[in-house]
């Protein structure tokens, strides 16, 4: 099997596992001579088996720019294509490994959002990975520079933890990468605590015809019903970039359907999803697959934290630089049809 084929197979496998990849999140690359093949922005790893989701970009051009400290370099595609290389292309160019995987794996993410996360707090972690930890930075140039500062130009560092974001893994083969990913997801695994919740049998209809219906996946109602999860909604909503990009800067939590109705009747731009305390989670038809995938991700992360876990939440400044970013508007737009 060619490297391209085995990468595609690997991507479609991890892309279908919601504990590893959520919607349009995560990206994979491989290097072949002067080309870096990278997932296109807005595409889904899960589609790797059926669609062409990879874009070839000029590797030399990127490596030279990065060596000169130019983290604002714009990747150049090697063929004409309507697809844009991933926002996180520079991370892949920086890692010297043949294959690089970047994911927001739930088991790891549930630790990366904790206050003061650092891999050195986990002495039993496989030392041969020569891991590094990078503080939260806006994806793109800023994050690339922070990661570059942790690398020594060799392939010895095989794992970079990105606080409030995800993990980068480098390797020489798919087998090696799978092994590392498996080690990390098992090492950080925490049993989820969930409750039996029944789906509410009521909907909210506004005067303008907009409807909020109970979300189809029963467990997502827990977010609005289980008291500790409702507390997390108000205190720890903005924990990592994709959540904010797809679900917005703040949660819309209401005390009752009546309160939701009177408040939303006044609004010109309605949210996709609302939470009604003690009752459940309600969504409009604008709640597409990519947004649902992010809400499931949030649920999965939250149910893996014990009640006392202190988290690090993105600041208002960090939130607004994600929301106003054209590169993210493009990626979100591509997923509106999903």
Residues in contact with Zn ion by CB under 5 A are: 166
The residues, ordered by sequence, that sit 6+ positions from 240 with a Cβ below 8 Å of its Cβ are: 104, 109, 112, 113, 164, 165, 166, 314
When the beta carbons of 15 and 166 are compared against Zn ion, the nearer one is 166
Residue whose Cβ sits closest to Zn ion: 166
Residue 165 in contact with residue 241, Cβ under 8 Å?
Answer: yes
Smallest separation (angstroms) from Zn ion to the CB of 159: 14
Smallest separation (angstroms) from Zn ion to the CB of 85: 14
Smallest separation (angstroms) from Zn ion to the CB of 9: 22
Q: What is the DSSP letter of 85?
A: B
When the beta carbons of 158 and 219 are compared against Zn ion, the nearer one is 158
Helix (H) or strand (E) holding 252: none
When the beta carbons of 221 and 331 are compared against Zn ion, the nearer one is 331
Kindly state the tokens that stand for 40: 């296109």
Kindly state the tokens that stand for 247: 């679900």
Smallest separation (angstroms) from Zn ion to the CB of 240: 8
When the beta carbons of 86 and 281 are compared against Zn ion, the nearer one is 86
When the beta carbons of 252 and 331 are compared against Zn ion, the nearer one is 331
Residue 285 in contact with residue 204, Cβ under 8 Å?
Answer: no
Smallest separation (angstroms) from Zn ion to the CB of 166: 5
CA–CA separation, 289 and 26 (whole Å): 16
When the beta carbons of 19 and 274 are compared against Zn ion, the nearer one is 19
Helix (H) or strand (E) holding 159: strand 159-162
Helix (H) or strand (E) holding 167: strand 166-171
Closest CA to 36 of 16, 14, 68, 65: 65
Smallest separation (angstroms) from Zn ion to the CB of 87: 8
The residues, ordered by sequence, that sit 6+ positions from 110 with a Cβ below 8 Å of its Cβ are: 188, 190, 300, 301, 304, 305
Q: What does the angle CA 74 – CA 331 – CA 248 come to, to the nearest 5 degrees?
A: 125
Other C-beta atoms lying within 10 Å of the C-beta of residue 4:
12
Residue 75 in contact with residue 89, Cβ under 8 Å?
Answer: yes
Smallest separation (angstroms) from Zn ion to the CB of 242: 7
When the beta carbons of 166 and 271 are compared against Zn ion, the nearer one is 166
């Amino acid at each position: 099997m060619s490297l391209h084929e085995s990468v595609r197979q690997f991507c479609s496998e991890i892309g279908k596992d919601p504990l590893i990849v959520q919607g349009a999140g995560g990206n994979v690359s491989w290097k072949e001579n002067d080309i870096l093949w990278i997932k296109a922005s807005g595409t889904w790893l899960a589609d790797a088996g059926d669609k062409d989701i990879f874009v070839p970009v000029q590797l030399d051009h990127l490596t030279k720019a990065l060596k000169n400290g130019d983290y604002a370099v714009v990747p150049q595609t090697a063929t004409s294509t309507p697809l844009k290389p991933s926002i996180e292309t520079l991370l892949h160019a920086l890692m010297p490994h043949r294959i690089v995987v970047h994911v927001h794996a739930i088991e790891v993410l549930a630790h990366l959002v904790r206050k003061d996360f650092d891999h050195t707090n986990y002495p039993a972690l496989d030392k041969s990975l020569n891991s590094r930890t990078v503080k939260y930075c806006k994806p793109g140039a800023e994050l690339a520079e922070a990661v570059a500062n942790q690398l020594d130009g060799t392939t010895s560092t095989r794992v970079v933890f990105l606080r409030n974001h995800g993990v980068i893994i480098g390797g020489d083969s798919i087998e090696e990468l799978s092994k590392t990913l498996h080690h990390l997801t098992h090492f950080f695994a925490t049993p989820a605590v969930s409750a039996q919740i029944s789906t509410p049998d009521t909907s909210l209809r506004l005067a303008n015809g907009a409807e909020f219906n109970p979300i189809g996946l029963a467990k997502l109602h827990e977010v609005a019903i289980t008291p500790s999860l409702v507390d997390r909604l108000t205190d720890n909503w903005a924990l990592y970039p994709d959540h904010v990009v797809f679900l917005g800067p703040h949660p819309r939590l209401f005390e009752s359907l009546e309160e939701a109705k009177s408040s939303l009747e006044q609004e010109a731009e309605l949210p996709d999803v609302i939470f009604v305390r003690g009752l459940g989670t309600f969504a409009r038809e604008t709640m597409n697959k990519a947004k649902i995938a992010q809400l499931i991700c949030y649920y999965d992360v939250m149910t893996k934290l014990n009640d006392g876990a202190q988290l690090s939440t993105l600041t208002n400044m960090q939130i607004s630089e994600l929301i106003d970013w054209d590169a993210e508007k493009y990626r979100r737009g591509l997923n509106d049809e999903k």
